[in-house]
Structure 1
Amino acid sequence: MSRIAELTSLLMPHLMLAPIGLPMLTAALLLTMKEEQQRLKLGLNILSTLLGLLVAVALLLWSHESGAPATMGVYLPGNWPAPFGIVLVLDRLSAMMLLLTGFVALCSIVFAGARWHRAGVHYHTLFQLQLMGLGGAFLTGDLFNLFVFFEILLAASYGLLLHGAGRTRVQAGLHYIAINLAASSLFLIGASMLYGITGTLNMADLAQAIPQVSAADRGLLHSAAAILATAFLIKAAVWPLNFWLVPAYSAATAPVGALFALMTKVGIYTLLRLWTLMFSSEAGPSSLFGSLWLIGGGMVTMAFGAIGMMASQRLTHLAGHAAVLSSGTLLAAAGFGQNALTAGLLYYLPSSTLAVSALFLLADLIDRWRNDGASLAPYELDDVAPFLTPELMPTTGLNLDEDEEVLVGRVIPAAAAFLGLAYMACTLVIAGLPPLSGFIGKFAMLTALVNPLGLGSSAGTQPGLPGWTLIALMIATGLLALLALTRSGIRHFWAAHDRPTPQLRVMEGLPIAILLGACVALTLQANGVMRFTEATANGLHAPGTYVRAVMTAAPIPGPTTTPTPERAESSATTKAAP
């Protein structure tokens, strides 16, 4: 057993490369294959995504194996010590985000395998590049490589958003590209200013350098951080910078929309990671800089998302505004900098992401059912027909060849009941009603706001009036979300008459069942998951462990050789030189 443990400890750090390397190699392989090999491409994509999910599970278990307050994994790909070389860092937060990414991605590609992956070219390659960018963003330990991985995932998302073509997608895609190019520019400006002030882009080194910044440069430092934060807030869909999200996400195909539900969480993750490192309670005069802006922006975003849900007439718009509501709730809770509140929001984060992803998938099936089998209902067929492969050209629906029935499965009986129950589960999680995980996450946050001192919270922003305002908003927005989802459910399930039985295939129903099943699992294992999120929050708000782990990571020494007399003399000369 000791030998196995020793072997595991040697192999696990190298496994940190897999969330980046595996999708990169898969994308390269898929790019060499012809578009006619769609079945083989789909199989390779599903296999690679499944392997990535298993790797994420292994990394999560490794990061939490000893039950220590903050276990860390640091990998030096170039074998250069920080802050000079590239650093990959794994802790509980990054491991949780990798697991969430792998889970949503697997359900998305299985759903796409029923029909949508054939609506355009290079879908599978772009999908894997998207996973590569997400994995790198969650693992990287410096701002420069964070920018690189952001650009990779954004470039892939441009192609995925336009997949299937059509006037609506192209229009929304152009807006999406323009706003993300602006965000990338702000990212570069903010990172450049930080580098000019501190002389480093390594996140751990930044945490050490910020308390030492002179008072004369403190204002410039805060300006650089604000510019950098604006780039991430655009990705996190904060109001008023979120005007692009709902049109873009609702225009995307259903599996792409489900995957894009993760994209706002990349912004949330980055803000949470950098803010707790750079502006923790140990940051001196810059301690908790920007906390009130996060709280205020998050609360306004919550109100905007809830009102948008009430005004939505289409299910995809409803799902998009639900993603905005979720993002606003997470931002507002994160701004307080309290351990217990952060633990609650980390429980709520995967729950809301899973539910919004499932709602995007459900919207495609319900719209197709509502329009008698035409899942292209939101778009004019004349717009997309030139870009569809023969298999996707609908007659009374998007029918597949009979020889593919083994792959996609037979029609499921009681499909309408399944859609109704799945929609009900999404409603409960998004609105935060019992008994599912959305309620537990919101209840944990409300408890932390009502009784912050009794739950071992750190010295962050005390709730006060902002805390009570957030409590009222969480209750009110949950009620508005319930009303909006219930009204839409009545219109789609109860107000329709003489409608044929929905044609639901296994590859379409199974991903939705798995996503909502994960919400049920989070509910049943709430005690264990909350212990994990509490440990994660404690590690985030005590950044000293992260900083020490990164800055003390030593490169692997190279092979030693017996020096010849000439080498010995040269070495001695070098050491003696001034």
Structure 2
Amino acid sequence: MIERFPHILVAPVVLPLMTAALLLLLGEKRKRAKSIVNIGAALAGLLVALEIMRGADAGGSSGAAGVYLMSNWEAPFGIVLVADRLSALMLVLVGVVSLCAALYAEAAWGRAGAYFHALFQIQLMGLNGAFLTGDLFNLFVFFEVMLAASYGLHLHGSGWPRVRSGLHYIAVNLLASSLFLVGLAVLYGVMGTLSMADIAEKLALVPARDRGLLHAGAAVLAVAFLIKAAIWPLNSWLVPAYAATSAPVAALFALMTKVGIYALVRSWTLFFSAGASAQFGGTVLLYAGLATIAFGAIGLMASMSLGRIAGFSVIVSSGTLLAALGTGTPAVTSAALFYMLSATLAVSALFLLVELVERIGSDGQRRVPDLDVEPGEDTNLDEEEAPLVGQAFPVSIALLGLAFMVCALLVAGLPPLSGFVAKTSLLTALLSLRGDGHASTSAPASSAAWILFGLLLLSGLAATISLARAGIRHFWVTGGRLPPRLKVVEAASVIGLLLCCILLTLYAEPVMRATRATAAGLHAPKAYIEAVLSARPRPGPTRPVIEEGEAP
């Protein structure tokens, strides 16, 4: 499919861009039509991502689905889009979360302000582009596209808490963008290129006198990525921003920290996997990740609001991924990729549940803007004629309670779901680390691996206590409260994300095989580099040769 239709690699960028333009043309009065277009585009994006993943799995040991030369200019002179196993995995993750968030927004939030759906699609364009681009400058461009849309989405729905946290969020991300540009300038001054494959190819040729400047540029660039990845102490913006924004936007924002993680994984494994600069910065990533896990666990224990619990869960997952990356071993990286899938889906579902659970109040009404919602049309799962109305457990409360319980198991990493499988895989991989950082099933783990081992267990305990406390407050102590009004699309969004986690549990072995192949390709990036630098422009039409004496 990839070979027959090579332009499919640009579809994850072009599709949301064209959809956003169409949504702007529809106008503000056709809200239901815009919502349908938004959901349809998200579904189409997911199907495209699945096809790209199928091509990446069929790409052999390199896992390269293809290299798309924009404007038909070869690397490193032109813009390049590259889809390997990691890129395809991230595209599928974006597709699943965005589809469920778009479904949830159809209930009310898509009509709470202007341009929600267009901004939603621009956000997807930035996310997909960041995962596909093959050079650092266009990574910066897609970062800015993603952030510009996120500013509008965060403020969507108004309210002073949203404005206050939004200003903080904007200021921090503008600082990160400035650091991004400084790091790019230094790297370009040393390397003369910003193509990631070309930098990796030429890194061994950098003279010793310039290597310090190279490391300084990479460090500044890494700080920009780490701010986006919510590393401690650069993550004070995340919890207030994510807790204040609307539920579908918060679910989508759970992907944004993964952009920072992806950028670090991609650049670090390409640039510092071998040679004189091998493992540069690995110790910093490891111990900063450990500090981030500890900070997130403390935040979980101190949080009473369900929105803040979800925000600190994002921080714990980011710290876990950064610490796992810092170990520099394929086995730990493979387990971390599986953990990333489970944690992102679980936290996105938890963000969607926050608003639904908080509707369980004395009046049982929704806590969303006063919109022109027509009653009687797909409004509540507990209609008057429903057989369970008046019973001890109405449909909506029973459904929310079950979904919350599943989310709690996933976030805390308790059996039998994919969160437990992911943490067990991580713990097993950590136990196989030697003191020098190399894997061995019989050698004792290094001290840093033991610390990470303990923090993973403690963070799971903190999440269990915090979520159990929240569950008791919202579901157990509910005397005299009416069941919340719950729309079918809202329930379907949460159930869809949780079903994906259940599928991860049922098909853990094939998914783990895919993550092992992905990790192996990341730590041996030669195939990726060769695929990008060997891609040649497609021949275009040529002028026919005019024989002497013939009319032109």
CA contact (8 A) 1:72 1:549 kept: no
For residue 401 of structure 1, the aligned residue among 374, 383, 393 is 374
Work out whether 1:447 is the aligned partner of 2:438.
no
Are residues 1:212 and 2:205 paired?
Answer: yes
Q: Distance in 1 between matches of 2:521 and 2:143?
A: 25
The AA in structure 2 aligned to 1:478 is G
Q: Which residue of 2 aligns with 1:312?
A: 303
Match for residue 451 of structure 2 among 445, 449, 469? 469
- Verify: 1:425 aligned to 2:398, yes or no: no
For 1:200 and 1:235, locate their aligned partners in 2 and report how far apart those are by CA, in whole Å: 24
Deviations along 1:369-420, one digit per CA (max 9) or x if unpaired, are: 135345438xxxxxxxxxx5642xxxxxxxx2136x1588775852111111
State the partner residue of 1:236. Answer: 229
- Which of 83, 87, 101 matches 1:90? 83
Counterpart in the other structure of 1:508: 490
Aligned-partner Cα distance in 1 for 2:14–2:155: 25
Write out aligned runs for 1:73-88 (5 A): 73-88=66-81
Counterpart position of 1:270: 263
Question: Which residue is 1:349 aligned to?
Answer: 340
Find the counterpart in structure 1 of residue 23 from structure 2.
30
Shift of 1:368: 1.3
C-alpha distance in structure 1 between counterparts of 2:546 and 2:404, whole Å: 75
Is residue 544 of structure 1 aligned with residue 526 of structure 2? yes
Give the aligned partner of residue 245 of structure 1: 238
2:107 to 114, 130, 134: 114
Task: Compute the RMSD of aligned alpha carbons.
Answer: 2.0
2: distance between equivalents of 1:174 and 1:371? 33
Structure 1 residue 326 displacement after superposition: 0.6
**Cα-to-partner distance string for 1:151-190 (whole Å, 9 max, x where unaligned):** 0010000000000011111111111110000000000000
Matching residue of 1:519 = 501
State the alpha-carbon separation in 2 of the partners of residues 108 and 511 from structure 1.
Answer: 7
Unaligned segments of structure 1, at least 5 residues = 1-7, 378-387, 392-399, 567-578
The alignment status of 1:53 with 2:46, answered yes or no, reads yes
Write out per-residue CA displacement over residues 234-271 of structure 1, whole angstroms, 9 at most, x where no aligned residue.
Answer: 00000000000000001100010011111111111110
Query: Do 1:72 and 1:546's aligned partners in 2 also have CA atoms closer than 8 Å?
Result: no
Residue matched to 2:390: none
CA contact (8 A) 1:191 1:228 kept: yes
Inter-partner Cα distance in structure 2 for 1:17 and 1:71 = 15
For the 8 Å contact 2:296–2:313, the answer to whether it is kept is yes
Q: 1:69: how far off? A: 5.1
- Aligned residue in 1 for 2:314: 323
| C-alpha separation in 2, matches of 1:52 and 1:373 | 36
In the TM superposition, residue 559 of structure 1 has moved relative to its aligned partner by 1.9
Distance (Å, rounded) in 2 between the aligned partners of 1:497 and 1:168? 30
Q: In the alignment, is the contact (CA less than 8 A) between 2:34 and 2:117 conserved in 1?
A: yes
Secondary structure of the corresponding residue to residue 276 of structure 2: helix
Counterpart of 1:125 (choices 105, 118, 124) is 118
Which amino acid is 1:555 matched to? Answer: P
- Name 1:187's counterpart in structure 2: 180
Distance across 2 between alignment mates of 1:409 and 1:43: 21
**Equivalence for 1:372:** 363
SS at match of 1:75: strand
Shift, 1:32, TM fit: 1.5
CA distance in 2, matches of 1:147, 1:537: 24
Give 1:290's aligned residue: 281
Pair 1:145 & 2:138 matched: yes
Look up the equivalent residue of 1:442 and give its one-letter code: K
Query: Helix, strand or coil for the counterpart of 1:240?
Result: coil
Question: Which residue does 1:173 correspond to in 2?
Answer: 166
Task: Pick from 454, 462, 467 the counterpart of residue 485 of structure 1.
Answer: 467
> What amino acid maps onto 1:503 in structure 2?
R
Higher alpha-carbon deviation: 10-19 or 535-544: 10-19
Residues 553 and 67 of structure 1: CA distance in aligned 2, closer, same or farther (over 3 Å)? closer
Code of the aligned partner of 1:486: A
Counterpart amino acid of residue 139 in structure 1: L
In structure 2, the residue matched to 1:157 is 150
CA contact (8 A) 1:340 1:457 kept: no
Superposed displacement of residue 67, structure 1: 5.2
The answer on whether the counterparts of 2:261 and 2:318 sit within 8 Å (CA) in structure 1 is yes
The one-letter code matched in structure 1 to 2:282 is: S
Equivalences, count: 535
User: Structure 2 length as normaliser, TM-score?
Assistant: 0.94
* Cα distance in 2, alignment partners of residues 39 and 563 from structure 1: 57
User: Do structure 1's residue 13 and structure 2's residue 18 form an aligned pair?
Assistant: no
Q: Secondary structure at the match of 2:257?
A: helix
Q: CA deviation at 1:362?
A: 0.6
The one-letter code of the counterpart of 1:472 is G
Deviations 1:447-502 (Å, cap 9, x if unpaired)? 1111147xx9679xx95111111101111111111111111111111122111122
CA distance in 2, matches of 1:35, 1:84: 42
Q: How far did 1:139 drift?
A: 0.2
The residue number in structure 2 matching 1:498 is 480
Bigger mean CA deviation after superposition, 328-337 or 488-497: 488-497
Between 243-252 and 65-74, the greater mean CA deviation after superposition: 65-74
- CA drift of 1:39 comes to 0.5
**3-state SS, counterpart of residue 70 of structure 2:** coil
**Letter matched to residue 485 of structure 1:** L
Q: Which amino acid aligns with 2:316?
A: L
CA distance in 2, matches of 1:12, 1:451: 43
Contact 1:310/1:481 (<8 A) preserved:
yes
- Find the aligned partners of 2:284 and 2:61 in 1 and give their Cα distance: 33
Does 2:88 align with 1:101? no
Match of 1:299 among 290, 307, 310: 290
User: What does the per-residue CA deviation read over 1:26-56, in whole Å, with 9 as the maximum and x for residues that have no partner?
Assistant: 0011111211100010011011111011101
8 Å CA contact retained: 1:294, 1:332: yes
Separation in 2, partners of 1:74, 1:458: 33
Distance 2:513 2:526 in 1: 21
* Equivalent residues of 2:231, 2:288 under 8 A apart: yes
Letter in 1 for 2:420: F
Distance 1:230 1:9, change over 3 A: closer
How far apart are 1:12 and its partner, in Å? 3.6
- Indicate if the aligned counterparts of 1:12 and 1:59 stay in contact, CA closer than 8 A: no
Structure 2, unpaired ranges of 5+: 387-393
Contact in 1 for aligned 2:56/2:85 (Cα 8 Å): yes
Partners of 1:276 and 1:343 in 2: CA distance: 13
TM-score (normalizing by structure 1): 0.90
